[in-house]
């Protein structure tokens, strides 16, 4: 079932989202200061390519003070806007019965967009 969902996701806009995240991550990695943020955007790109069958989980072990500071910086500098964008798409897609699985995937991306540091994709 996840294969069909991933193929539909890819055709219905997932490839577009993946390419935008990948370009943004590559641009952020051009500067030394932006490398940690660029790596998190590339993590979101990986999830946005094939989100069905994958989960976003906390690392479980203490991720430390640096992870908290980076998440706060991320949230202030743009993470809230990315999460709101995914939340709006989730609300739009949840209106129809067919769009509910896609809305769940947008919610998964929104949770990763809020605080990407200290999370893994499994």
Q: Is the dihedral of CA 39, 1, 107, 20 positive or negative?
A: positive
Average pLDDT over residues 74-88: 92
pLDDT given at position 1: 72
∠ CA 20-22-23 to the nearest 5 degrees? Answer: 65
Give the chain's mean pLDDT: 90
Phi then psi dihedrals of residue 96, to 5 deg: -100, 150
pLDDT given at position 60: 67
The string of pLDDT tens digits covering residues 28-76 is 999 999 999 999 999 999 999 999 999 988 876 666 788 889 999 999 9
Phi then psi dihedrals of residue 56, to 5 deg: -100, 120
pLDDT given at position 78: 87
**Is a pLDDT exceeding 90 seen at residue 13?**
no
**Is a pLDDT exceeding 70 seen at residue 91?**
yes
Task: Count the domains in the chain.
Answer: 1
Average pLDDT over residues 108-119: 90
Choose among 39, 51, 32, 37: nearest CA to 109. 51
**Is a pLDDT exceeding 80 seen at residue 20?**
yes
Decide which of 102 and 62 is more confident: 102
DSSP character string of 60-86: SS--HHHHHHHHHHHIIIIIHHHHHHH
Cα distances from 85 to residues 2, 32, 53, 67, in angstroms, run 24, 27, 22, 23
Q: Let me know: does 122 contact 54? Beta carbons within 8 Å.
A: yes
For the packed helices 100-114 and 2-9, what is the interaxial angle rounded to 10 degrees? Answer: 80
Q: Which domain holds residue 44?
A: 2-121
């Amino acid at each position: 079932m996840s294969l069909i969902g991933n193929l539909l996701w890819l055709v219905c806009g997932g490839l577009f989202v993946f390419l935008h995240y990948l370009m943004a991550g590559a641009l952020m990695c051009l500067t030394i200061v932006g490398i940690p943020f660029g790596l998190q955007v590339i993590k979101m790109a990986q999830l946005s390519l094939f989100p069905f069958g994958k989960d976003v989980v906390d690392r479980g072990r203490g991720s430390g003070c640096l992870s908290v500071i980076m998440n706060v910086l991320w949230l202030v500098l743009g993470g809230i806007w990315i999460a709101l964008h995914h939340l709006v798409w989730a609300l739009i897609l949840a209106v129809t019965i067919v769009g509910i699985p896609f809305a769940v995937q947008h919610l998964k991306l929104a949770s990763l967009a809020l605080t990407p540091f200290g999370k893994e994709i499994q």
